[in-house]
Amino acid sequence: MAAATNGASKSSPPPPPPPVDWFRDTPLRYLGYANELGESFRPLIHKSVVHASYGVAIAYVLADTSSKAQATAKRFDASASSAGGAVVSVKAKRIRIASSAADTLIWYDD
């Protein structure tokens, strides 16, 4: 049986796509594994190149962590401003940001 419709069918526009996470949704994420590439070629390349590969991986992780912490701060501020003037603790904001940064540092993904 066909489903009954009430009058003209109104199609709502599709929801906007979620924002792109440059550190997780693009090939940039492979920079986090640069040290693995350096280690795999250790017998063939100079030691400084291996150390540089660790530098690239560490820089990626720190940039991703910073990005996630900043996004959490913006979301927290937006939710606090929409709370209708409720007083939001600075300590609660710091805890939320630190938790987000820690989750990113240990590669935890919601």
The answer to whether residues 76 and 98 touch, using CB atoms and an 8 Å cutoff, is: no
Which tokens sit at 68? 């996630």
pLDDT tens profile 70-106: 999 998 888 777 766 566 788 888 999 999 999 988 8
Q: Is residue 74 one of the residues assigned to a domain?
A: yes
Residue range of the domain that includes 49: 27-105
Q: Which among 110, 17, 19, 100 is positioned nearest to 64, based on CA atoms?
A: 100
Mean predicted lDDT score pLDDT of the chain: 85
Q: Is residue 47 one of the residues assigned to a domain?
A: yes
Q: Whole-model pTM?
A: 0.73
Q: Is residue 16 one of the residues assigned to a domain?
A: no
Total structural domains within the chain? 1
CA 85, CA 80: separation in Å to the nearest integer?
Answer: 8
Q: Is residue 13 one of the residues assigned to a domain?
A: no
